[in-house]
Amino acid sequence: KAIFNHSHLRCIQTTPTQGHLMPLTLSLKPGEKFVLNGAVLANGEKRTSLVLQNKACVLREKDIMQSEEANTPARRIYFPVMMMYLDPDGSETYYNDFAMRMTEFMGAIQNRQALATCLEISREVMSGTYYKALMACKKLFEFEQERLNYDLESLSKHAARR
């Protein structure tokens, strides 16, 4: 099981162009942490750019979510998707959690745009493109925040106190 002391996940992959993978440049702030193929790395004291020449799983510190931060319906969808990406061996367990949370969420909303986003997330998960699914999940965060009128910072602070 992968456990990280950061907030939120972002998976970055090289993008295919005409059948070839294009290098990805990852710009890091001083001290910024990231996960590269399961290893937690930290940038040094200066801003740095890394060029990834092949396909790799890169999760930036700002996009990694702790389990206690999965404290809203949309975040409870995001978390198992993130874990499917981080822990492929446990993906069946995480998929079952994702399916249950997505079903609950879709049963509770009627907004067509949000429902379309849920379908987009489900399609991406089914095809194994977890990065795209995670980015689509962030649209649900926005939808949820607008509807529930909560402040993201206070939610994170509340989760940290638990």
Q: What is the pLDDT of residue 26?
A: 87
The two tokens of residue 45 are 């004291």
pTM over 0.95: no
For residue 1, pLDDT over 70 is answered with no
Confidence of residue 5 (pLDDT cuts 50, 70, 90): very low
Confidence of residue 14 (pLDDT cuts 50, 70, 90): very low
In a 3-state reduction of DSSP, which class is residue 97?
Answer: helix
**26-80 pLDDT, tens digit each:** 899 999 998 888 788 999 999 999 898 888 788 888 889 999 999 999 999 999 9
For residue 85, pLDDT over 60 is answered with yes
Between the two ends of the chain, the Cα-to-Cα distance in Å is: 21
In a 3-state reduction of DSSP, which class is residue 63?
Answer: helix
Q: What is the pLDDT of residue 59?
A: 81
- Over residues 128-155, the mean pLDDT reads 83
Find out whether 39 and 64 touch, Cβ atoms under 8 Å: no
**87-126 pLDDT, tens digit each:** 888 889 999 999 999 999 999 999 999 999 999 999 999 9
